[in-house]
């Protein structure tokens, strides 16, 4: 590990100044960034700790106005937020299902969105994989049981690790991204970058830019949402398959569904196939099962992860049922 400067700005404006040097990295809760430094993947000259900036920690608004969330809000705060208990509950469920209570008390929403992949080859300093500038994705012909079943034909088959992103995409959320010079808004679903677009990064942030706010749009009439994940170790783990659904329910009739999948591809992704199979349907267990099957029709599993296709089918079926207040096991 190299030695580095440690900056503790008290205001967002000071963060931008501290990030002017190209070797600066932000630390929020520090769960991922400290691992990256210890694993020899990140070599910052300056670590900018934004954890004591109060103006980045808030949850404001309601279902009628929409909700604005500061990136420094912890996953524990999201999980227990009253504001997120109604139409937006997928986000609270996603945050509450992440890691362990200790981690959720430190980890932030901004950090959850910007964490780096957990592929074991990427995290091991002995493997100079494509994402680190090498020429081989060792997972393609190696241990790939946790890897992508979509978008896995372009030199890196990792899955994006962010659970909160899956819920935010299902909820149609946007981000404000700002630097010393400018500010822009972008949908969460457009924030992430596939290996085809750029092999060496996971999102569109440029040097000096940070996420300054996360926005949930006003909830549409009768909007419901739900998030569910299957892990290898149910107590705490990254997901094998995770799904978030939002939709308007008129009785049991579904309209404007959004179905997002995590641990499926190098980016958290929407399943247009699932959405078209669900739209305008009266939700039943059979319809929910057929939505799961449609979502997986274009999957291209690797040598060791065909099992994920079946798990996704079941997780999608359950999530659609639970969002509609139907018992999938009835």
Residue corresponding to tokens 């039943």 = 284
Q: With respect to ligand FAD, which residue has the nearer C-beta, 22 or 64? A: 22
At residue 325, the 3 state secondary structure works out as coil
**End-to-end Cα spacing for the chain:** 54
Of 186-205, which residues contact ligand FAD (CB under 6 A)? 205
Total number of residues binding ligand FAD (CB under 6 A)?
30
Q: With respect to ligand FAD, which residue has the nearer C-beta, 25 or 140? A: 25
Q: Write out the H or E segment, with its range, that includes residue 9.
A: none
User: What Cα–Cα distance (Å) separates residue 40 from each residue in 43, 103, 158, 197?
Assistant: 7, 22, 19, 25
Assess 208 for contact with ligand FAD (CB under 6 A): no
Q: With respect to ligand FAD, which residue has the nearer C-beta, 87 or 203? A: 203
Residue corresponding to tokens 């808004």 = 185
Assess 243 for contact with ligand FAD (CB under 6 A): no
- The most distant pair of C-alpha atoms in the chain lies apart, rounded to whole Å, by 60
Region of 26-34, 142-150, 276-284, 300-308 interacting with ligand FAD (CB under 6 A): 26-34
CB of 65 to ligand FAD, least distance (A): 23
Of 255-314, which residues contact ligand FAD (CB under 6 A)? none
Assess 112 for contact with ligand FAD (CB under 6 A): yes
User: What Cα–Cα distance (Å) separates residue 28 from each residue in 39, 133, 228, 249?
Assistant: 18, 26, 26, 37
Assess 111 for contact with ligand FAD (CB under 6 A): yes
CB of 303 to ligand FAD, least distance (A): 24
Assess 25 for contact with ligand FAD (CB under 6 A): yes
Find the length of the chain: 330
Residues near 286 by beta carbon (within 8 Å), at least 6 away in sequence: none
Options 117, 195, 239, 268; binder of ligand FAD; rule CB under 6 A: 239
Assess 99 for contact with ligand FAD (CB under 6 A): yes
Options 37, 53, 107, 119; binder of ligand FAD; rule CB under 6 A: 107
CB 211 within 8 A of CB 134: no
CB 257 within 8 A of CB 170: no
Q: Which residues contact ligand FAD (rule: CB under 6 A)?
A: 25-33, 71, 98-99, 103, 106-108, 110-112, 114-115, 161-163, 205, 210-211, 236, 238-239
């Amino acid at each position: 590990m190299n030695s580095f400067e440690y900056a503790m700005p008290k205001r967002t404006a000071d963060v931008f100044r501290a990030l002017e040097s190209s070797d600066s990295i932000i630390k929020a809760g520090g769960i991922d960034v400290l691992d990256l430094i210890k694993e020899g993947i990140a070599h910052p000259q300056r670590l900018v700790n934004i954890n004591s900036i109060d103006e980045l920690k808030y949850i404001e608004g309601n279902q009628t106005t929409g909700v604005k969330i500061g990136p420094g809000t912890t996953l524990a705060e999201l999980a227990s937020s009253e504001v997120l208990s109604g139409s937006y509950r997928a986000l609270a469920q996603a945050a509450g299902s992440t890691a362990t209570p200790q981690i959720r008390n430190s980890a932030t929403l901004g950090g959850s969105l910007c964490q780096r992949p957990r592929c074991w080859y990427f995290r091991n300093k002995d493997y100079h994989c494509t994402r680190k500038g090498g020429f081989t994705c060792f997972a393609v012909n190696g241990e790939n049981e946790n890897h992508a079943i979509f978008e896995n034909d372009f030199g890196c088959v990792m899955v994006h690790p962010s659970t909160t992103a899956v819920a935010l995409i299902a909820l149609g959320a946007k981000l404000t991204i700002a630097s010393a010079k400018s500010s822009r808004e972008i949908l969460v679903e457009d924030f992430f970058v596939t290996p085809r677009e750029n092999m060496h990064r996971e999102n569109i942030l440029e040097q000096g830019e940070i996420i300054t706010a996360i926005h949930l749009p006003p909830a549409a009439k009768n909007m419901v949402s739900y998030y569910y994940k299957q892990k290898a170790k149910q107590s705490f783990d990254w997901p094998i398959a995770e799904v978030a659904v939002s939709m308007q329910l008129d009785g049991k009739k579904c309209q404007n569904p959004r179905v997002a999948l995590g641990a499926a591809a190098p980016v958290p992704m929407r399943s247009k196939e699932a959405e078209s199979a669900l739209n305008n349907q009266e939700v039943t267990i059979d319809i929910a099962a057929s939505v799961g099957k449609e979502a997986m029709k274009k999957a291209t599993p690797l040598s060791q992860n065909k099992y994920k296709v079946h798990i996704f089918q079941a997780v999608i079926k359950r999530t659609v049922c639970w969002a509609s207040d139907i018992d999938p096991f009835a």
